[in-house]
Each structure stands twice: as structure tokens, then as C-alpha cells.
Amino acid sequence: MPRPAKQTQRRILDAAYELFYQKGYYRVGVDEIAAFAGITKRTLYYHFVSKDELLQAVLALHSELALARIRKYEDRYSGNADEIIDVLFSELAKWSKKPGWTGAGFTRLVMELADLPGHPALAIAHRHKAAVEAWWVSLLKRAGVSSPLKRAREVVLLMEGATALILIHRDQSYAEAANQAAKDLVSGLRRS
């Protein structure tokens, strides 16, 4: 019995995301994706003309899913700015302890594609990160933080930096350091 096209397409997207996240874009071939999805390579190419087109579809889907997850758990990010920031960096510390954690998938893929500035997947990653930053602007505005755009950009920068350093050093204390730095920035304090 043949599978419906949408179901097959989703299996391909899920398999590709899993493999891209685990190994990176360049280290995964379409043969491996097809095998992981339980389909033939011909079926994969029926749904996606190229690996690049598949990557675009993967990022578009996972951006949508990630933003929906953020909205679903948005009630966790309530209270004053310090409480909101505590949630962010405690979630990062928990997430980074999971087996197989390899950092932020969007960031890792963009770094792999850095020498291809016109790659369409970069535009999807840009929109995703901009949407996350805009979400932070709204949270900080709601918490009464002055200059919420500037502060949101600083918080996101600290989150990305902490993620990278946790990945490099396998040390969750970077989340704690970024948490404190974000609180200092948001409150306008500078420690010496």
C-alpha cells in the first residue's frame, strides 16, 4: 500500500533534520537520508529536487515548529526581567545536558554554509533568528525594560555565545555566567 505523499515528505524532513542536527549538512548524503527515512533515493528526489532544497524545507519546518514551541511555553517567561532571563539560561543549561546535544541547529548549519552567502537556507535561518529576537523584544517590553530592542539583542548574543561555549567546553557554567551578564545588561549595571 503506497504512503500518502505528505506523510512520505514529512518522514524525509524528519530524517534529514535528525541527521543534519547530529552530523551537520556536509557530512550527510542523500543516500543516508533516504535510508534513515526508509525510502529510496529516487523517492527522496521525487519530493525534493536537491539536497539544498531539502535543507531549505527542513529549516522552514523546524523554524515553524520551534516558534510554535516558544509560544506554547511562553507562560514560563513571565514576571520581571530577571525571572525571564533565569528561565532562558536554566533551560539552556538543561537542554545542553541532554545526550547527543550538539548546540543550536540553525547556528551550526549557518556556520557550515558561511562560504555560500547566497544560499537560500541562510535566509530562512536569518528569519528564524530575527523572529526569536523579536519575541525577546516583546518579553522585555512587557517586563518594563528600557531599550528592549537593544537589550533583547544583547540577551540573544549571550545565549548564542553561551551555547557555543557550552558545546566547546562541555561546561554548563557558561549558562550561569551568561545569565548573570544578561541580568546586568538588562538592569543597566556593569560589574567590575
Whether the CB-CB separation of 170 and 143 falls below 8 Å is answered with no
Whether 108 and 184 share a structural domain: yes
pTM of the model: 0.88
Whether 131 and 191 share a structural domain: yes
Q: Give how many domains the chain has, as a whole number.
A: 2
Whether 94 and 15 share a structural domain: no
User: CA nearest 108: which of 94, 93, 122, 89?
Assistant: 122
Whether the CB-CB separation of 186 and 141 falls below 8 Å is answered with no
d(CA 159, CA 133): 11
Q: Which residues constitute the domain of residue 9?
A: 1-56
Each residue's pLDDT, cut to its tens digit, for the chain (192 residues) gives 456 999 999 999 999 999 999 999 999 999 999 999 999 999 999 999 999 999 999 999 999 999 999 999 999 999 999 999 999 999 999 999 999 899 998 898 889 999 998 999 999 999 999 999 999 999 999 999 999 999 999 999 999 999 999 999 999 999 999 999 999 999 886 443
pLDDT (tens digit per residue) in 171-186: 999 999 999 999 999 9
Say which CATH number the domain at 119 has: 1.10.357.10
Say which CATH number the domain at 6 has: 1.10.10.60
Residue 25: CB atoms within 10 A of its CB come to 22
Q: Scan for cell 551550526, then name that residue.
A: 108
Dihedral angle of Cα 159, 162, 166, 167, to the nearest 10 degrees: 70
